[in-house]
Amino acid sequence: MTFLERIRQRLEAFGQSRDLTLMTKLFCEDLGWGGPRGFTRRRLQLPSPLSCEVTAVPVAQMSGLPVYCVKWPQDKLPGVTARRAVQKALASVSAEHVVCYITRDGRQLAFTWARRRDDGKIELRTLPYEVGSPARTTIERLAEMAFSLNELEAGEPPVTAVVDKLNAAFSVEAVTQQFFADYRRIFADLQRQLLDALPPQQRSVEAKVWAHDYALQLLNRLMFLYFIQHKGWLGDSPQFLCRF
């Protein structure tokens, strides 16, 4: 089993059971983080318009920077307002932290990194994950959070090294570059398959233009469908396209 497959297996099992010990195993056994010593579970009273209480359970830490897990009381992941409310409620313990959210039905997860910018403000960056989804981006970004044995040889690294690793893992630029690289690869492969499906005598310049336009239109429509699926507008199911 590869490292990425092991991470996926952890996430899938966590979604199915919502057992917080699996998130501790992901961070401590797979990613090399330390146990959540020095941190305790906290009940967070979120103000209006949320007006609800959630519990943040520590599952790991590295150099004093904690990772919490929150079982979100809805079947949809928290929006920006809710994630900001949780960040503010945890700020008294640690201004910078990671929170893993899991929905009530266990189908969706999200990892949010509350990072301090150069201007002192706290910025939230989030990596979503859907149980059963073939998407690899979040799994690959989580792998960037791993500490090797060499990095831990002298004990836990300075917190600046932890912050640097998290900034790299949650980098918007890295995710965007990976998306376009994957898009170009799939686009070129689809074009080739469309042309290969034609008899050799029909593979003209016009056919290449047709394959290009057809592939572009198909991928654009699929991205639109995934967008409205993410919004819950397709049967209120985050896996509508896979199931139907």
Q: What is the pTM of this model?
A: 0.77
- Taking a C-beta distance cutoff of 8 angstroms, is the pair 94, 116 a contact? no
Q: Which of 113, 130, 158 is the last residue of a domain?
A: 158
In whole angstroms, give the CA distance from residue 30 to residue 187.
34
Q: In the structure encoding, which two tokens stand for residue 96, read together?
A: 């910078």
88 and 138 co-located in one domain: yes
67 and 147 co-located in one domain: yes
Residue 21 has pLDDT above 90, yes or no: yes
The region of weakest confidence among 131-135, 145-149, 176-180, 201-205 is: 176-180
134 and 14 co-located in one domain: yes
> Rounded mean pLDDT of 76-87?
95
> Rounded mean pLDDT of 89-103?
96
Domain for residue 114, yes or no?
yes
Q: Mean pLDDT across the chain, nearest whole number?
A: 89
Beta strands 42-46 and 122-130: pairing type?
unpaired
- Least Cα distance to 175 among 125, 210, 213 occurs for 125
Domain for residue 217, yes or no?
yes
- For 42-68, write each residue's pLDDT tens digit: 999 999 889 999 999 999 999 999 999
192 and 125 co-located in one domain: no
Q: In the structure encoding, which two tokens stand for residue 159, read together?
A: 């917190």
24 and 97 co-located in one domain: yes
Domain for residue 170, yes or no?
no
Domain for residue 166, yes or no?
no
Tell me which residue range forms the domain holding 149.
Answer: 3-158
Which residues have a Cβ under 8 Å from the Cβ of 43 and sit 6 or more positions away?
53, 54, 55
Number of residues written out for the chain: 244
What is the number of domains present in the chain? 2
130 and 191 co-located in one domain: no
